[in-house]
Structure 1
Amino acid sequence: MNRILGAEHFVVYNYSISPAVDQILQRYQQDGLVTVLPWPLPTNQVFYFGQKSALNDCVYRNRNISRFIVVVDTDEFMIPTNHSNWMEMIAATSPQEYDVSTFVHSPNTPKKAHTKTGCFIVRSSFFSASSRANWTSLPSKFSFTEKEKHNILKYNIQTLSQFLRSTVFPPYQRSKYIARPDLIYNIGMHLVHTFVDSSSCTVVSNNVSLVHHYRELDRRTSQSFPLNITDTSILRFKSQLYPRVMEKFKLFPNIFK
């Protein structure tokens, strides 16, 4: 999904992974798509596996290489509601600063007005991570063939089977973001803490984009944030997403049987 939305490279900080995941990551490294960095920090000496250190390492590692970095967890997807990709979303959110026609494979700043928006905050909501599909809640215009349904359930493709979400969290609470590494001094999980200049964060309207966070909710959380809103925005990408995912499964027949 992230590739469809515009991601060109991924940085993975490896604290601990299974042999199967290691095999998959090795293949993506060979393809030049992923950089895997060992991250065996002592958990009794750092907070939450050294997450903040990893994030800031990613910023400085990508400075003068990537124009933007996208901060999301592996169970989260930053989905534009109407735009085709993240770059179109950014250009629409800050049209006076960013011209989508200037987004080429270069770290150089777009030649437009002086950039003041160095971070785009996207609000978050919970989606179910259940292995049971809830296709019955979908409008009739969204259809799946029986083969598609079979494969989606077989491989537990949650992005194409879970469409009930919670209410949207306020900005900076569970939110994730897209940021300019050349403008950043220090970041956290949900926002940029310090810029190198007078740049600032812009909160993207949840009508423009939303983080879909697929996770199992405990009883207390599910009572506080019931999944009772149907959201089919990701289905705009189904025709691209489904065949791509199925092709990737075929690369690892000994893992995905």
Structure 2
Amino acid sequence: MYYRNSTKQVKCVLDDYVKNGTVTLFQWQKSLPFTNNVDLREENMFAALNDCVLRSINVHKYVAPFDVDEFIVTKYTTILQFLEAFDKRGGNEISFVFRNAFFYLPWPDDPNYSGLDLTTQKKTKRITEFTPMKRRAKYICKPEGVAEIGNHYLWEMTKKNYSEIVIKTELGHLFHYRNCEHDNCFEDKFIEDRTMWKYQEELEKRTKTVEQNFVEKCQLDPLRNI
């Protein structure tokens, strides 16, 4: 993770994950030797993304540059199972692109949900139309095949025969939980998508374990039940 600042509570949690080896934390300054914000965007994000890819070569098989409000969900139980199924075909895919679907936070919670107050569980309304390719999409790539990456797709690969594949939405897509992108989002067409409910039992179990470790130590508010 590339760290510039946070609340004391968040830093407390991060420090614990650093100590147990789960997270590697890099101090990331806004004042890096880059000045073109049009190309690099906020906090020199593109520099961080490409630094991550370079550090991952010969260390990690896959790199997945996601935001904290984004989740890739597939027909398989885990993302790794999904990727391994593609690898068995022996193709030249170096990047797997997942199209984006918004679950707008201002939309009402699912009235049929009961359980811990978890965003991925209570927000089940998603827009009917997926955003176009290369807009808001996210991907998983193999770092050794990447020359340069962007936020939503690869900019350049290391070999001409490498390819980028767009995953069919019925096989998997990006679940994106955020505020509305425009003023009249309440007029957007939506469907009920309760796919995330298949993870509820395991998610609540793990969340409660984490909560026990951090609520008192890091002065966090405990999650409520809905």
> Which TM-score applies when normalising by structure 2?
0.86
Task: Go from structure 1 to structure 2 and tell me whether the alpha carbon gap of 1:218 and 1:121 turns closer, same or farther (over 3 Å shift).
Answer: closer
Q: 1:125 aligns with which of 87, 101, 114?
A: 101
Q: What residue number does 1:213 align with?
A: 176
* Structure 1 segments unaligned to the other structure (5+ residues): 1-11, 98-114, 137-142
For the 8 Å contact 1:129–1:214, the answer to whether it is kept is yes
Runs of 4+ in 1 over 6 A off after TM superposition: none
The amino acid across from 1:177 in the alignment is Y
The one of 135, 138, 146 equivalent to 1:173 is 135
* Residues 7-26 of structure 1: pairs in structure 2 closer than 5 A: 12-26=1-15
Contact 1:78 1:212 in 2 (8 A): yes
Helix, strand or coil: the match of 1:135? coil
Q: Which residue of 2 aligns with 1:192?
A: 154
1:85 and 2:78 matched? yes
Tell me, which stretches of 5 or more residues in structure 2 are unaligned?
A: none
C-alpha distance in structure 2 between counterparts of 1:207 and 1:54, whole Å: 31
Checking the alignment, whether the CA contact within 8 Å between 1:249 and 1:256 is kept in structure 2 is: no
Give the C-alpha shift of residue 15 in structure 1: 2.4
Matched ranges for 1:217-236 at <5 A: 217=180, 219-220=182-183, 222=185, 226=188, 228-236=190-198
Q: 1:245 aligns with which of 182, 191, 207?
A: 207
% same residue: 22
Deviation of 1:176 after TM superposition, in Å, equals: 0.3
| Matching of residue 158 in structure 1 with residue 119 in structure 2 | yes
1:53 and 2:63 correspond:
no
* Alignment coverage as a number of residue pairs: 212
For 2:184 and 2:48, locate their aligned partners in 1 and report how far apart those are by CA, in whole Å: 28
The Cα RMSD (Å) is 2.1
| 1:68 counterpart = 2:62 | yes
> Tell me, what secondary structure is at the counterpart of 2:183?
helix
**1:91 offset after TM fit, Å?**
3.6
Asked if the contact 2:4/2:29 (under 8 Å) is kept, the reply is yes
What CA distance in whole angstroms lies between the structure 1 residues aligned with 2:110 and 2:68? Answer: 22
2:214 match: secondary structure = coil
